[in-house]
Structure formats: structure tokens, C-alpha cells
Structure 1
Amino acid sequence: MIENLPLRILVADDHAILREGIVAVVERQQDMCVVAEASDGAAAVRMFAEQRPDIVLMDLQMPQLDGITAIEHIRAEASNATVLVLTTYADKVQAARALRAGAAGYVLKSCIRKDLVGAIRSVRAGRPVISPEIRVPDVDAGRGRLTAREIDILELVAAGQQNKCIAWQLSLSPETVKGHLKQIFAKLGVEDRTQAAIVATRKGFIGLRRQL
């Protein structure tokens, strides 16, 4: 984000009253503004292409395109797009699908008044968030198999660092970092960096500071 410019946000939710409530919370922040609203998934994809917001707040159950499909379309359009899911579904299967589609976080609508702003700031900074009510896979059996180096890498992944930066900070090659990440994904039973950071944080492997 360019310094002194507000964070530009697209809100996608088919319930007008809920959408208005989300917009009201966002607009109360001096460093945030809503640049577009969408009442269905297809409109969300179209408005993302038109506005290129910094953050998309995405509902899951919407007409035209569901939220997960909309996330896939948006991430295909811009691989670095940041999408935060806002939903009523405390469902680990839905959460896993959303994260696989490219969501940076999965937050329940019950937290909107209390935690939404913090969640937005976290995902914008590259720190994934997930509501505590969402159950994640039990990976306690793998705890002892995580090496000190893997934990170091996970800490930096959770802080939003990319492979080149991680390699530089740990005096490793980018290929070595990639190799470690493959091992980490296998040990934690996850498929990508976001899921790895969420699982590792929830299970206490790393000490990510979250806004939630």
C-alpha cells in the first residue's frame, strides 16, 4: 500500500443489511475505504477487475457464483490478490476449500464488530487469520518431527515473507527453502503456505502475533 493512501476494499455479500454493516465498520477507519460493493459472486469478480482493490471481503453463499469459485476467478486474474472470507459457516471443510482457492483468511461474521478490522490488517500484512471456532486438522503427532530450521522457516512464512527473503535471512538458498517447505507441508498435512501458517500457529508450533 502506498503511504498515506487508504486501504481500498471490495465488499461482496448478497445480504444487503449485512453488507451495509460491514461497509460501516470499514468506513469508520481513517486508513480504509470501500471502493465497491457486490451482491453476487459474478459481480465481485467483475468489480475486482475494474477496481483492483487491496482487499476483497468475500461471503461464501452468493448467487451467480459462490464465494469459493469467485476467489478462484479473482486469483486467476491476479495471483497476489488478497481475499478474506467472511461467513456464517464454522466448517473446516469449507475453510479448507476457501484456503485452497487462495483465501488469505477465514473469519466468521459473528466477529465483524469486534475483530474485522484486525483481520483486515493482518491479511494485508501477509499474516493469515482464521476464526478460533474453525477446527483445523489435528497434527499433534507431527510436532516432534518439525526441526528447528523448519520452525524458523514457518515463523517467517507466517510473517508474510517470501522464499527469497527467507533464504537471505537464514543464509540458505531459495531452493533449500523450497525443499524445507515441501517437508513442512507433508508433516503438517497441508497443501500451501497459508494452511501451514494457520495450522502451525493454532497448534502452537510457532508464535504468530494475530490481531484476532
Structure 2
Amino acid sequence: MAVTDEAILKIKGMITRGELGPGDRLPPEKELSEHLGLSRSSMREAVKALEVIRVLDVRRGDGTYVTSLEPRLLLEAISFVVDLHDDDSVLELFAVRRILEPEATALATARANPALITRLGAQIDSVDGSTSVEGLVEHDLEFHRTIADAAGNRYLASLIDSLSSSTVRARIWRGLTQENAVERTLAEHRGIVTALERGDAELARALTLVHVSGVEAWLREWTETTTA
């Protein structure tokens, strides 16, 4: 194992054992390296790596702190990598969404309450035939974000949000090139809300699967046509 990797694992161990918690300040570099039996250079590299993935926050002139470790913060590193995808890999992103989002919707069904149904309904009512493609996609993002949040799993919601945000370009292109994109999207959203309101998890899961798969199928067909 590389020395830097060992240093990362040892700092991670201090966090998982509770020796360091969210917001805590790390001991000075010299003290910490001696405590863990590592060189100061390897410790320095480990801190840099953990700063990149938002586990540590290095404050110049103040010290190094453990971040809040909130899911949305930690998943920013994944979001950054996802943003570097090429057009073909968008299909893989949709495939992951197709796996995760129906399950998130099913989980949200058990937690659905009148406030959630009203909120989702208001989001749908805010869109009509005069809404721009960008506005439709923004609505779609917010709609799915609301349901994912309602599932009650912050890590799942953050992951879905990262993946969903990274498919915006494809969804805008679909809205520009496919007829009745607004009407189709809103109809599918209404069906999902109705299933949530009825407490029918299986129907909510199935409708979400069809909804996400529709964009994926369009993108796959468009990609095959343009590369033929």
C-alpha cells in the first residue's frame, strides 16, 4: 500500500471511530503525523486528497477541519466526474437513473402526505404549453428532486440529483426535437403523483420506470441515427 493511501485510511479511521467528528479541527500536522506514525509529507498529501473529495476543509492560517460530511457535499466529487462525461456515456447515466429513481419513488410512496402531493401538484400546474424547453427541464429536475427527497434517504437523493442534473443537455435536446414533449412530460408526472396519492408503490415505481426509460429510449434512437 502506498504511504499516502495508508495516511488516508488512518485519517478515515479516526473519523469513523469518532475520534474526529464533523466540524472538528485536526491536530497540527507534526502532532498528527507522529500520532499516526507517518511522515509529514505523506500526511500532507493525504490531507490534500481528502480536501478534494470534501472530507476535509483546509483553512489557510487557521487549520484543517473535518467538513459537515453531509451527503450532498460528499457527492460533489461524483458530480464533478459525471460532468466530464462524453455524449455516449449519457446513456449509461440514464441506465443508472432507471435503476435508482423507480425505487426512490416507491420509497416515497410510504411517506407521501397531503403536503407532498400538493407541492408536486403545484409544480405541475406551473408548467403549460407556453413554457420554454429550459423551463420544462427545470420543472422536471425539481419534480424528481422533490420525490427523491421524500424517499427519506439523503445519500440516495443526493446521488439521484447529481445524475439527473448531468442529463440536462439530453433532456433539453429532446424537448427541442420531439413533438408534444411538454404534454407528455406533464401527463407522466400527473400519473406518478396519482400513484403516490393512492399509496400504490408498485404503480408509482412502474410509472417512474416508463418515464425515465422514455427519455433513454429516445436518446438511444437519436444516437444510433446520427452515428449511422
- TM-score of the aligned structures, taking structure 1 as reference length: 0.32
Which structure: greater helix fraction?
A: 2
Which structure: greater strand fraction?
A: 1
Q: Which has the higher contact order (CA 8 A, sep 6+)?
A: 2
- TM-score of the aligned structures, taking structure 2 as reference length: 0.31
